[in-house]
Structure formats: C-alpha cells, structure tokens
Structure 1
C-alpha cells in the first residue's frame, strides 16, 4: 500500500513539473518547478544509469522497462522489487 501511494505521488509530481513546460506557472513558482524538474531528471537519471550499467544483456532483454520504471518512480520501484522477493 505504501509503495502504491508513493508511486502515485511520484506520478503526480512528474505531471506537475512537466505541466510547467507546457503552460508556465507565474514567475517564482516557474523557477522552483524548473529546478525541481532538473533535480528529478538528474537524480532519477543517475539511478537508472547505475542500474543499467550493472545489468547483463540477458537481464536487459528479460525486463526491457525496468530501467524506465526506476527512472519514473525512483526509490519506490526499488522497494517494490524487495516486496516481490
């Protein structure tokens, strides 16, 4: 339940930050949203890159969207892997 709520909140945060690119918020909120989007992309990008660099070719072929899910949901995706095991 906790993981589902976290993934839902991350999805809403992504929507909030990406909506700023389409229809910019007023001036101070615009800057904060841009900084937040940059922080999200950098941190989640690093997590996805680290995962991708540690996976073998066979693992990449078996689960093609694992890296994308980690990029979108971050730590909550890795927590869901722990629950599945």
Structure 2
C-alpha cells in the first residue's frame, strides 16, 4: 500500500511540474517548478541510465519498460521489485 501511494504521489508531482510548461504558474512558483522539473529529470534520468547500462540483453528483452517505469516512479519502483522477489 505504501509503495502504491508513493507511486501515485510521484505521478501527481510529474503532472504538476509538467503542467507548468503548458500553463506557467505565477512568478515565484514557476521558477520553483522549473528547478523541480530539472531536478526530477536529472535524478530519475540517471537512475534509469544506470539501470539500463547494467541490464543484460535478455533482461532488456524481457521487460522493455523497466527503465521507463524507474524514470517515472523512481525509488518506489525499485522498492516494488524488492517486494516482488
């Protein structure tokens, strides 16, 4: 349940940050949202890149969207892998 709530909150946060690109928030809030989006993109992108570089070709074929899910949900996705095993 905790992991589902975390994934849900991450998805809401992504929507909040991406909405700022379409319809910018008032002045101080839009700057915070831009920095938040940059931080999310960089940290989650690095996580996905590290996962992708350590996976074998067989693992990449078995689950094509594993790195994408890690990019979107971050640490909560990796926690769900630990629970499934």
Scaled to the shorter chain, the TM-score interval is over 0.9
The total of aligned residue pairs comes to 85
TM-score (norm 2): 0.99
RMSD (Å), alpha carbons? 0.3
Divergent runs of 4+, >3 A: none
Work out the CA distance in 1 between the residues paired with 2:84 and 2:18.
Answer: 30
Unaligned 5+ segments in structure 2 are: none
Q: Which runs of 5+ in 1 are unaligned?
A: none
TM-score (norm 1): 0.99
Name 1:78's counterpart in structure 2: 78
Q: In 2, distance between residues paired with 1:37 and 1:62?
A: 30
